[in-house]
Amino acid sequence: MAVDLLLGLQWGDEGKGKIVDVLTSKYNIIARFQGGPNAGHTLVFNGKKHVLHTIPSGIFHEDTVNVVGNGVVIDPVIFKKELDKLAEQGVDYKKALLISRKAHIILPTHRLLDAASEASKGKAKIGSTLKGIGPTYMDKTGRNGIRVGDIELADWKDKYRSLADKHEDMIKFYNVDIQYNLKELETEFFEAIATLKTLTFIDSEEYLHQSMKSGQTILAEGAQGSLLDIDFGTYPFVTSSNTTAAGACTGLGIAPTQIGEVFGIFKAYTTRVGSGPFPTELFDADGETMAKVGHEFGATTGRPRRCGWLDLVALRYACQINGVTQLIMMKGDVLSGFKTLKVCTAYNYKGEEITHLPFNIEEENVTPIYTEFKGWNEDLTEMTEASQMPKALNDYIDFLEKELEIPITIVSVGPDRKQTIVRQ
């Protein structure tokens, strides 16, 4: 059995959590492959909203196993809060959740280092979620990190101490004003580690391999989006992991030949939180309408998301590097009521028209070239069948499919599980 992937094609927050939840009934296992609590994946069903950060979005389905893969970084404190919330909902997570021994742990000092690094950058800051993601992946690649499997070892606290001491020296080096009480942070951290230890730790690559062999179906859940990928995103305004399809291989231990469908998910427009270039960003009433109607506020930090038109240059690029086989379009309902819709089909790059994503997409180099579409006025949120969709929406979708040469198989028309239209 192959592993299917679901990943974001823009700057995150495309609606991955919702669609993983929708697709979960087709899979035995949902496995997160990268990122950490910088992610905020929203699920809405039975009139209730749930936000997950580290826990895979299959957790609300009773018969599904949820794996936190080796590519994920775990903050035990945030993880414990997520578990407590699940317990309040009556979710029996102990049975349903397996953690890779090779996943790295975010220490309290990683979070402080994130804050110190951002403060030292001033205006050039990344706009990090300040969850310690960058510093934790730096310790991973620097070969200094602490992994989930380490906390089963007798001497792990010595390793913790020497790493935390080193981090404190590094914080001083930044020479910025970061106030903290490490003792308090450590009390909370070690309590959360005790909770983490009550869960099942596995050698996840072996588990997934055996599961595949026995015919189990697996969906790998990405976090962030392709334009935040450490290699292919808008560097340095990116996250510190590979958010693209390749990240599923390294983050779960699956081979490229074992990948089946690649579901690429995108909003019918574009959003971005934090700093960095965004060629189709709007600073007018249209952008404000998208933000307002789409409730565009970060699920992790609550920060307002920047909004703009759909960027096909960036989307085409994301489809290419991920080998997307099916597209999923989210938040079409938010565009109802716009008289005219615009889609960026090419860039004017230093005076030349180009259709690929260049090295540098900063504002001074790139002006989007738009194709305009007639909008639709119909409310899409009650629609359940493709046959109900207005002609103008179908025209919009047909155009995207033709440009990207990939079918759009699902159209989402609201946050709820049920507000999902399957197209053939």
Residue numbers annotated as active site = 13, 41
| Closest CB 335 distance from ligand GDP, rounded Å | 10
Q: Report if residue 117 touches ligand IMO, rule: CB under 6 A.
A: no
Yes or no: say if 277 and 362 are a contact pair by the CB < 8 Å rule. yes
- Beta-strand pair 340-349/310-311: parallel
Give dist(CA 125, CA 144) in Å, integer: 25
- CB-wise, 161 or 295, nearer to Mg ion? 295
Q: Report if residue 15 touches ligand GDP, rule: CB under 6 A.
A: yes
Question: Which of 59-67, 128-136, 308-316, 409-417 is the region at the interface with ligand GDP (rule: CB under 6 A)?
Answer: 409-417
Environment class of residue 156 by beta-carbon count within 10 Å: exposed (0-12), middle (13-18) or buried (19+)? Answer: middle
- The sign of the dihedral angle between the CA atoms of 109, 115, 117, 120 is negative
Question: Which of 188-196, 281-289, 291-299, 391-399 is the region at the interface with ligand GDP (rule: CB under 6 A)?
Answer: 291-299
Yes or no: say if 273 and 252 are a contact pair by the CB < 8 Å rule. no
Q: What token pair was written down for 277?
A: 């270039």
Q: Could you say which of ligand IMO, Mg ion, ligand GDP, none residue 412 binds, taking C-beta under 5 to 8 angstroms by partner kind?
A: ligand GDP
Give dist(CA 259, CA 323) in Å, integer: 10
- CB-wise, 24 or 243, nearer to Mg ion? 243
Environment class of residue 398 by beta-carbon count within 10 Å: exposed (0-12), middle (13-18) or buried (19+)? Answer: exposed
Q: Report if residue 277 touches ligand IMO, rule: CB under 6 A.
A: no
Residue 236's CB is within 10 A of a number of other CB atoms, namely 11
Yes or no: say if 84 and 118 are a contact pair by the CB < 8 Å rule. no
Give dist(CA 226, CA 240) in Å, integer: 12
Closest CA to 419 of 60, 158, 154, 42: 42
Task: Out of 343, 400, 408, 413, point to the residue binding ligand GDP (CB under 6 A).
Answer: 413
DSSP-derived secondary structure for 334-367: GGTT-SEEEEEEEEEETTEEE-S--S---TTTEE
| Closest CB 300 distance from ligand GDP, rounded Å | 8
Question: Which of 7-15, 206-214, 230-238, 347-355 is the region at the interface with ligand GDP (rule: CB under 6 A)?
Answer: 7-15
Task: Out of 65, 193, 227, 228, point to the residue binding ligand IMO (CB under 6 A).
Answer: 228
| Closest CB 15 distance from ligand IMO, rounded Å | 9
- CB-wise, 129 or 280, nearer to ligand GDP? 129
Q: Report if residue 247 touches ligand GDP, rule: CB under 6 A.
A: no
Q: Report if residue 368 touches ligand GDP, rule: CB under 6 A.
A: no
Residue 391, H or E segment: helix 391-404
| Closest CB 30 distance from ligand IMO, rounded Å | 14
Question: Which of 31-39, 85-93, 142-150, 416-424 is the region at the interface with ligand IMO (rule: CB under 6 A)?
Answer: 31-39
Tokens 């709820």 locate to: 416
Q: Report if residue 13 touches ligand IMO, rule: CB under 6 A.
A: yes
130 to 111, 114, 275, 280: CA distances (angstroms): 6, 6, 13, 26
- CB-wise, 13 or 229, nearer to Mg ion? 13
Give dist(CA 17, CA 42) in Å, integer: 5
Task: Out of 7, 9, 11, 16, point to the residue binding ligand GDP (CB under 6 A).
Answer: 16
| Closest CB 63 distance from ligand GDP, rounded Å | 22
Task: Out of 34, 35, 41, 280, point to the residue binding ligand GDP (CB under 6 A).
Answer: 41
Task: Out of 4, 13, 75, 114, point to the residue binding ligand GDP (CB under 6 A).
Answer: 13
Residues in contact with ligand IMO, counted by CB under 6 A, come to a total of 24
**Per-residue string for binding with Mg ion, 295-314, x by CB under 5 A?**
----x---------------
Q: What token pair was written down for 423?
A: 């197209």
| Closest CB 19 distance from ligand IMO, rounded Å | 12
Q: Report if residue 334 touches ligand GDP, rule: CB under 6 A.
A: yes
Residue 47's CB is within 10 A of a number of other CB atoms, namely 6
Residues forming contacts to ligand IMO in the complex (CB under 6 A) are 8, 11-13, 35, 38-41, 126-129, 131, 133-134, 223-225, 228, 239, 273-274, 299
Residues forming contacts to ligand GDP in the complex (CB under 6 A) are 8, 12-18, 39-42, 44, 294-295, 299, 330-331, 333-334, 412-415
